[in-house]
Structure formats: structure tokens, C-alpha cells
């Protein structure tokens, strides 16, 4: 365990090192969302056992503070990107009763789609002003959906652990 003025206690957890503070935003239906600091695995696929340094933790704090200050813009970008991904990958199945053998979901705008992206699994803060947000995607619970923000912009979207 280590401590940091912003993060509080930083301890090894089920997916790396986690902060004492947690995330909440009213858009998401869950609260107390865990924040992981740094990567879970090294380049050899081994679990990282050394906690982030004080300098790393301070850098992560700056990244997270910027994310929070700009949360509404980040949330809009996340919602738009998630809906675009739905249209490209999932709509051909979910909107076609012949393919899905179910009635069409009629997800034809961002607001209708938002109900499917309201459960964050965790947030991971990384080097180089990078944040990953892993979401339990109600339309694809096997893969979920993950957003990678760098410098405040979405740079990758994929299944969880694919970005």
C-alpha cells in the first residue's frame, strides 16, 4: 500500500492498483466506481506488483482532474461514439427481425442508445493523459465496450481490454 494526497490509499486490487476515491456521475446507474491507477499487466503479460510512483500518481491525478472538469464534454463524446459503434456493428442485427429473430429494438438516436451504456465496470488512469472507461454494454455483455481517451479525445473504442 502507498498513499497520495489526491488518491488517498493506493492498494493492489483485483485488476491492478486502485485508488481510495471512486467515481460517480448521475448519467451512470452505479456509484462508487473503482478507479485503477496504471496498467494491470506489464509487457510480458505479468501482473504488475509494484505500486505506481508518487510522480506517476500525481500525473494520473492531473489527468483525472482534467477529465472531471470536462466531464460533460467527455460524456457527450462517449455517447456519440457509442451510438456510432452501435450503428456500424450492431444495428444490422438488432434492427432486423429476420437476423435477430426478435422485434427490432428501434434504437435510432443517441438517447435511445444511452440506456445500454449506463453501467461502468471501472475506470483506468494511465500515462500520457490517458483514461480508459470500461462499460458493461447491455447489447454485448460478453465483450462490453471500452473507450480510450488521450488528451481529452477518444482515440480508441473496442471491447473491454481491446483498446
Q: What is the per-residue pLDDT across 42-84, written as a single tens digit (0 to 9) for each? A: 889 899 999 999 999 999 999 999 999 999 999 999 999 999 9
- Cα dihedral value 82, 70, 127, 25, nearest 10: -60
pLDDT of residue 33: 97
- Rounded to an integer, the average pLDDT of 2-8 is 95
pLDDT of residue 136: 98
Q: Model-level pTM? A: 0.94
Whole-number CA gyration radius for the chain: 17
Amino acid at each position: 500500500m502507498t498513499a497520495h494526497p489526491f488518491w488517498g490509499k493506493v492498494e493492489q486490487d483485483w485488476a491492478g492498483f486502485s485508488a481510495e476515491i471512486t467515481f460517480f456521475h448521475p448519467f451512470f446507474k452505479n456509484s462508487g466506481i473503482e478507479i485503477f491507477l496504471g496498467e494491470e499487466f506489464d509487457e510480458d503479460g505479468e501482473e504488475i506488483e509494484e505500486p505506481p510512483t508518487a510522480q506517476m500518481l500525481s500525473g494520473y491525478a492531473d489527468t483525472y482532474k482534467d477529465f472531471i472538469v470536462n466531464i460533460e464534454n467527455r460524456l457527450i463524446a462517449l455517447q456519440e461514439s457509442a451510438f456510432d459503434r452501435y450503428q456500424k456493428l450492431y444495428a444490422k442485427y438488432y434492427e432486423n427481425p429476420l437476423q435477430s429473430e426478435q422485434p427490432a429494438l428501434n434504437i435510432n438516436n443517441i438517447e435511445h442508445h444511452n440506456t445500454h451504456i449506463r453501467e461502468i465496470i471501472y475506470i483506468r488512469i494511465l500515462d500520457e493523459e490517458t483514461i480508459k472507461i470500461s462499460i458493461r454494454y447491455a447489447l454485448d455483455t460478453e465483450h462490453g465496450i471500452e473507450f480510450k481517451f488521450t488528451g481529452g479525445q477518444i482515440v480508441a473504442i473496442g471491447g473491454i481490454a481491446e483498446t
